[in-house]
Every structure is written in C-alpha cells, then in structure tokens.
Amino acid sequence: MRKNSLIVMLLVATFLFLTSCNKYEEGPSISLRSKTERLCNIWKPVKILVNGSETILSSDQQKTTIEFQKDGDVFITVYYLGIAVAQTGQWEFYDNSEKIILTMNTDDDTPSKDTLKILKLMEEELWLKKEINSDILEYHFEPK
C-alpha cells in the first residue's frame, strides 16, 4: 500500500512539474525537437492580431513568407501591390530563447534590428509578438 502511494505521489509531482514548465506562453509544455529544429522552416502568416483584435490579411500579406535557417540566416519575402520584395538577414535566440532577434540587411549598410517575443513554437505553429509604439502585434504562422 505504501509503495502505491509513493508511485502516485511521484506521478503527480512529475505531472505538475511538466505542466508548469512552459517556456512559451502558449506552449508546448514538452517537445522532443529542439527550438532550432522547430523554428527552422518556411512560415506563412495565417493570422495577425493588433491589440488583441484579429485583422483581415490582405492578399499581399497572405503571400508573405519568412524562412529561418539553421545557420542563422533569415529570408523574408513581403509583397507590395503584388510585387515581391526580398529581405535577408540573421536571426538568433535571445533572453533564454524566449525571444528572437532579427538583424536585417539594409541598403545603407546599417542593419535594422527587431526583437520578437515567442509565444508559441511548435512544429506546425509559430506565434510571435512585437510592440510598436503603443500597439501590440501578434503574428500567427504555419509552415508553407
């Protein structure tokens, strides 16, 4: 009887430990794939929220892609009036892997840096959050 109680207590403790250790606000609790393996993919936006309200993606936004590569390179393709504009740069995890810093190349040789908070990082979902002035933008991506 005492052995069964010990097993039950260990199972409960393990469950509580695993469910309280979310690195990201929206999960996952546990993953067998590394953060880099989950991030490195070609992503397309499926939802953008501004201050918690969902916006309708334009046709140009729907075609946008962001590709994270394992060597730290990042490639972003955005569309303006149907015309693709490619941007290149580097990415790195920051703040105990809870944020991503994007350092994008620019025409004037002064790279632009952007910091995005990771809300969810799964094989099939990526949620990022960014503050611009007083607005909070949340981007939800899925693999292309």
Per-residue model confidence as pLDDT tens for the chain (144 residues) = 555 544 544 444 444 444 444 566 655 556 688 999 999 999 999 999 999 999 999 999 999 999 999 999 999 999 999 999 999 999 999 999 999 999 999 888 889 999 999 999 999 999 999 999 999 999 999 999
Q: Residue 2: enclosing H or E segment and its boundaries?
A: helix 2-19
Q: DSSP code of 133? A: T
Query: What is the Cα 113 distance to its own chain's centre?
Result: 16
Write the CATH number of the domain with boundaries 2-143.
2.40.128.280
Q: Is the dihedral of CA 93, 99, 100, 101 positive or negative?
A: negative
pLDDT reported for residue 133 = 93
* Through-space distance between the first and last CA atoms of the chain, rounded to whole angstroms: 54
Domain boundaries, the chain: 2-143
Q: What is the pLDDT of residues 60-95, one digit of tens each?
A: 999 999 999 999 999 999 999 999 999 999 999 999
Query: What is the Cα 24 distance to its own chain's centre?
Result: 9
Distance CA 74, CA 102 (A): 8
Task: Indicate the pTM of the whole model.
Answer: 0.79
